[in-house]
Amino acid sequence: MRNRTAFQAHGWVLNLIVVAGIIFSAGLAGCNSPKPAQEPAQGSAQGPKTYHMAGRVVSVETAKQQVTVDAGDIPGFMMAMTMGYSVKNPALLTPLSPEDQITADVVVNGNDLYLENISIVKKADRAKTPASNDAHPPTAQPAK
């Protein structure tokens, strides 16, 4: 009787191991399934997407063909943030200077992101405020 109980216990453990192995194998097979190759093809078939942006120029790096813009919300694309944008046409960077208010089109083509149609809405005020030591220039002595 004792042998029969031990044999049944071993059978139950073996069945449990086989079932666990089958479940584990099915789980691994599901994890290794390839992603559909159609998604990137559909995105590129649609072509580039364009979003309108308005913001303030923070810096212009002509050598890198990049402008950093503190932009407001770009509906359908991203929330307000300060970010560097590539510019394909370096001539668009020439009139820009920090603190200019601009509008532009953000073009997204796959992983490529750049600005086009940059327009200056308000040129930065170039009148400099007096430095802290020049804030109160010495007063002229009255003539005697």
DSSP string of 7-21, one letter each residue: HHHHHHHHHHHHHHH
Q: Is residue 67 part of a domain?
A: yes
Q: Is residue 89 part of a domain?
A: yes
pLDDT in tens, 15-57: 778 777 787 777 666 666 555 554 444 445 578 999 999 999 9
For 103, the 3-state DSSP assignment is strand
Q: Is residue 111 part of a domain?
A: yes
Q: Is residue 41 part of a domain?
A: no
Residue 69 host element (H or E): strand 66-71
Q: Is residue 118 part of a domain?
A: yes
Q: Which domain holds residue 93?
A: 48-122
- The total number of structural domains in the chain stands at 1
Q: Is residue 133 part of a domain?
A: no
Q: Is residue 86 part of a domain?
A: yes
Q: Is residue 136 part of a domain?
A: no
Check if the beta carbon of residue 66 is closer than 8 Å to that of residue 86: yes
C-alpha–C-alpha distance, residues 69 and 59, integer Å: 7
Name residues of the chain where pLDDT drops below 50. Answer: 38-43, 129-136
